Homo-oligomer: A and B are copies of this chain.
């Protein structure tokens, strides 16, 4: 804490923890705090955040509350979805992809307000601290980053609450005890981890889920929908044009209703340990499947397989916090290059946890019934060609076999 800090921009949710941080920054550094509260579609009222900030002495012009939902989906979620990114085979990176956007705004606001530091409420054990800080440093190499959870001595819930009360921060009743799990939410997903989820052999209790109905309680009748894509991005639901955030929100409603997008995962954190998380990505899961569906008829094999080979690295980069790294941008350039003709319509069946692609069509389809048919193909394909194709593919294997017998 030797650094002298004049003014710090805090990623502020309005909740107890970041309120304590706000005060702690004022007390510890004797500095001015600027608050930034992002509406990422987490579904919480943001008004109270403003009130609390005012109460704690933040100047009105230093209270930033921004609706960044469209930017979030358009510039972060959709580019990532173009890559079909899933970390460790399954996780749709809902938390990971929001962090760079928050850092970007923190750094921008720091510039606007002449602040010399930014601060976040992520702990020292998780990935989010890495994501916040790598993004901040990549965007402003001179910025200072304060991570109170790594620095203070409020190492237990009791200590935190005592400190809050001592500093006149109101502590809601339901925050007095230990929360049974902690969550992060935005328009793409809600994640939960900790406490009741810490034994990976125990099934996630149903009360942990907040964004989806239990598939067993979902409608008994399937629902069919269509999603239209243009150049790799979703543009319409059931034929109705929608902005990125509106589309994702509408898919979230559908996914919630049909119990789609629940994921119970043990994953490998960048900081070195395994953790068990529960994710709900209702609209994202539907969208991800639809995107693969439209690619399946519009993307050439070479492009599709290259994308599949690059995906694990791309997903790992986002998970680890390297959104603003040159290698992520290089991969994005390759991926985006492939999406020019990824346009058309995908039809999906939603039913009790399943989101299945059942149809796809496109003006740019590469699927050729004429070539694939078992019927007479009017000369589109000469089966004799296959003999030579196989012979030359086999040649090296034959030479090997001759040698090794």
> Cβ of A223 < 8 Å from any Cβ of B?
no
Quick check: is A398 within 8 A (CB to CB) of the other chain?
yes
Pair B274/A124 contact, Cβ less than 8 Å: no
Q: A231 contacts the other chain (Cβ, under 8 Å)?
A: no
Q: How far is the CA of A382 from the CA of B395 in the complex (A)?
A: 11
Q: Could you tell me the distance in whole angstroms from the C-beta of A347 to the nearest C-beta in chain B?
A: 7
B residues within 8 A CB of A335?
A: 330
Verify A312–B302 contact, CB threshold 8 A: no
Q: How far is the CB of A189 from chain B (nearest CB, A)?
A: 17
- The answer on a CB contact under 8 Å between A302 and B396 is yes
Once the chains bind, are B296 and A125 in contact (CB under 8 Å)? no
Nearest chain-B residue to A84 (Cβ)?
A: B89
Measured between alpha carbons, how far is A365 from B201 in the docked complex, in Å? 11
What CA separation (Å) do A16 and B396 show in the bound complex?
A: 33
Place the interface of chain A in its size category: 35 or more
A306 near B: Cβ within 8 Å? yes
Q: A264-B356, A388-B385 are in contact. Are A303 and B330 (CB under 8 A)?
A: yes
Hey, what's the 0/1 contact readout for A363-404 against B, CB within 8 Å counting as 1?
011111101111110000111111111111111111111111
The answer on a CB contact under 8 Å between B325 and A329 is no
The reply to whether B330 and A133 form a contact with Cβ atoms under 8 Å apart is no
CA distance A266 to B359 in the complex (A): 10
Copy number in this complex? 4
Contact code string A185-224 (vs B, CB < 8 Å = 1, else 0): 0000000001100111111100000000001100010100
Question: Which residues, 104 to 124 on A, are CB-close (under 8 Å) to B?
Answer: 123-124
If A359-B203, A397-B134 touch, whether A88 touches B308 (CB-CB below 8 Å) is: yes
A233 at the interface (CB under 8 A from B): no
Partner of A134, one of B203, B338, B394: B394
Q: Which chain B positions have C-beta within 8 A of A321? A: 393
Nearest Cβ on chain B to A238's Cβ, whole angstroms: 16
A156 proximal to B (CB < 8 A): yes
Q: With A352-B354, A359-B203 given, is the CB distance from A384 to B388 under 8 Å?
A: yes
Q: Does A282 contact B (CB under 8 A)?
A: no
Contact of A276 among B123, B275, B351, B367 (CB under 8 A): B367
Known contacts A330-B337, A360-B200, A366-B403: does B312 contact A138 (CB below 8 Å)? no
Residues from chain B with a CB closer than 8 A to the CB of A347 are 201, 203
Among all A-B residue pairs, the 3 with the closest Cβ atoms: A388-B388, A124-B383, A272-B395
Query: Can you show 28 pairs from A to B with CB atoms below 8 A apart?
Result: A125-B372, A133-B390, A134-B390, A134-B394, A140-B401, A150-B383, A195-B374, A200-B296, A200-B359, A201-B347, A215-B351, A262-B356, A271-B395, A272-B301, A272-B393, A274-B372, A300-B325, A300-B326, A302-B396, A309-B312, A324-B397, A330-B334, A334-B334, A352-B352, A352-B354, A366-B396, A366-B400, A368-B399
